[in-house]
Chains A and B, each alone.
Chain A
Amino acid sequence: MQPLSAEQTMTTRWNRKDLLGLRELSAGEINLVLETADAFKQVGTREIKKVPALRGKTLVNFFVEPSTRTRTSFELAALRLSADIINISAEASSLTKGETLKDTARNLEALHADILVIRHSSAGAPQFLAERVSSSVINAGDGAHEHPTQGLLDVYTIRERRGRIEGLNVAIVGDILFSRVARSNIFALTKLGARVTLVGPSTLVPREFEKFGVTVSHDLESVLPQADVVNLLRIQHERQRNEYFPGLGEYIRLFGLTRERAKLLKPDCLIMHPGPINRGVEIDSELADGAQSVILDQVTNGLAVRMAVLYLCGGIAA
C-alpha cells in the first residue's frame, strides 16, 4: 500500500446509530469524530456552506429542557447537511398534556424522523428512547448525566489549539456534581490521555469523582500555574440548591477566575467556557474576551462537531 495520510490511518469504524454519552466511546471513536469534524469545519469556509450528505433525512430537535445555543447549533448543523428539521420544545409538545416520553417518541417516529436530538432534564431519557425507536438518537444533554457533543467540541477546540490532548493538564472548575458538561469532558479527556483536575467547593466537587481517574482539588490557585487548559463551568443559579452552594460572593472569592488570579496562568493556557457566561462570576469580563479565551472557537467548533456526529450516526445504513 502507498503511505497513508493521517486521515486514512483512521481504522476505527463507526457502528453506532446513537450518541448517548462519551463514557461508552473508545479513544478511536472519539478521534474519528474529531477528524470527521475537521472535514465539516472546512465546509463552513466555502462560498456555499452546505453539503448534500443528509439530503432527504429528517431531524427532530426535541428539547424538553430549554436551550437556545445547543438547539441552534444542531439546527444549523442539520441545515448544512441538507437535512429537514422540525423543532419541538417542551411547551409545544404534548408532554404538558400528559403524554409519556415513549408515546411522544413513537409519534415522532411515525413521522419518519431519521434522527432525534433530545435534551431532557432526566438522566437516561435519551437511552430510554434509543432502546425503543429505530431512529438515531443524539443526546443533547440529559440531566446531570452527559452532554456528549459539548465534551467533543471541547476536546476538538483543545486539539485544534494545542495539536494534541495527551499529556495536557486540564482543570475543570465549578459545579462538577450537577454538571453533565463536566462528566462528558472527563470521559473524553481521560480517554485521550489528558490529566484532569476538578476544582471547586467540596460540596460541588466530591472526592468520589476520583474513581474516574481524575484529581480533585479545592484550591484553585494551586492548580492554575500547571494548567494548559482551564474550563470554567457555568454556575447554574437556576438549579442551585442552597445547601450545596456557598453563595455567589464567596464562590467568586474562592473559585472565580479573576484578573489577579489569571496572572498565575501560563501565557499559553487556554480559557474555556461552555456558555452562557455569567460575566464577573465564573470569569472576569475582560478575560472572557482576552487572547487566551477560546470561548467563541468553542461555538464555531460545536457546529463542525455536531455535523460530524449527525453524519456518522445518521449516515449509517438503517
Chain B
Amino acid sequence: MTDSRTHPESSILLMDAAALGRALRRIAHEVIERNPELRQVVLAGIPSRGNEIARRIAGIISGIEKIDLPLGVIDVAMHRDDVGRRAELPVVQPSSLPLPLEDRTVIIVDDVLFTGRTVRAALDAITSFGRPAKIQLAVLIDRGHRELPIRADYVGKNVPTAPDERVRLRLGEAEEGVWLVRQS
C-alpha cells in the first residue's frame, strides 16, 4: 500500500478535506432548495464512492432539515454497454431502491462524471425498478469529455482534464481529498 500513500510527482491537489466538505455542504443545500418536496427524494449512489458521497449528503441534509432521506444503491455493471469489450468484467452487486419509485425524485450520486456512460447505465437500471417522477444527477467532480448528452444537476467542482489523466478521490481515511493524476 506504500504506492497509494506516496503521491507521484505528477499529482495535483484539486480539493483538500475542507474543500471537499464545503462542496458536499453546498450540494446538500442545493438539493434542499431545488426539491420543495424533500421527503420524496432518494439519494441513490453508484458503488462504491457514490454510496459514500450519498451517505454524507444525506447526513448534512438530516442536520439542516431533520429529514433522513432514504439511500439507495444502483449497480450499473449489468447495464453497461461495453460488456464483452473490456478485458476485465465489471463486478456486479445487488441494487436497492425504496419502492415504489412512482412519486419519488431519485438523485443519482457518483464521484466523477466523465464520459456519461455510467450515468446512462444508471438511468437504465433505475427505470427497471419503476418510473420515478424525476431523476437528477449529483457528482463531486465533473471532468468533462462527455460522450453522451448528459449533464449533472449538482456539481462539487468542475475540473478541466486531459483524457489520459485520472481523478483520484480519497474518502473515509485520514487524508481525504481529490487529486488529478497524470499518467507517467
Interface residues of A (CB under 8 A from B): 1-5, 7-8, 10, 13-14, 35-36, 38-43, 46-54, 57, 81, 311-312, 314-318
Q: Could you list 14 A-B pairs, sorted by A, with CB under 8 Å?
A: A2-B48, A2-B52, A35-B93, A39-B78, A39-B94, A41-B94, A47-B130, A48-B128, A52-B78, A52-B79, A52-B81, A53-B79, A311-B78, A311-B83
B contact patch SS: loop
Q: A42-B95, A315-B83 are in contact. Are A8 and B129 (CB under 8 A)?
A: no
Whether A52 and B124, one on each chain, are in contact in the complex, defined by CB atoms closer than 8 angstroms, is yes
| B75 within 8 A of partner (CB) | yes
Whether A317 and B85, one on each chain, are in contact in the complex, defined by CB atoms closer than 8 angstroms, is yes
| B149 within 8 A of partner (CB) | no
- Report the minimum CB–CB distance from A15 to chain B (whole Å): 10
Q: A2-B173, A39-B75 are in contact. Are A54 and B93 (CB under 8 A)?
A: no
| B64 within 8 A of partner (CB) | no
The 7 closest A-B pairs by CB, nearest first: A39-B92, A48-B128, A42-B94, A2-B172, A7-B93, A51-B78, A53-B78
Quick one: closest A residue to B99, CB to CB?
A47
Q: Point out the residues of chain A lying under 8 angstroms from B80, CB to CB.
A: 53
A contact patch SS: loop
- Report the minimum CB–CB distance from B163 to chain A (whole Å): 21
The residue among B89, B94, B130 with the most chain A CB atoms within 10 A of its own CB is: B89
In the assembly, what is the distance between CA of A43 and CA of B77, in Å? 12
Whether B83 and A53, one on each chain, are in contact in the complex, defined by CB atoms closer than 8 angstroms, is yes
Whether B170 and A10, one on each chain, are in contact in the complex, defined by CB atoms closer than 8 angstroms, is no
| B4 within 8 A of partner (CB) | yes
Q: Point out the residues of chain B lying under 8 angstroms from A40, CB to CB.
A: 78, 92
Residues from 115 to 164 in B contacting A, C-beta threshold 8 Å: 124-125, 127-130
In the assembly, what is the distance between CA of A64 and CA of B13, in Å? 62
| B91 within 8 A of partner (CB) | yes
With A2-B173, A41-B94, A53-B79 given, name 4 new contacts (CB 8 A): A3-B172, A5-B47, A7-B47, A312-B89
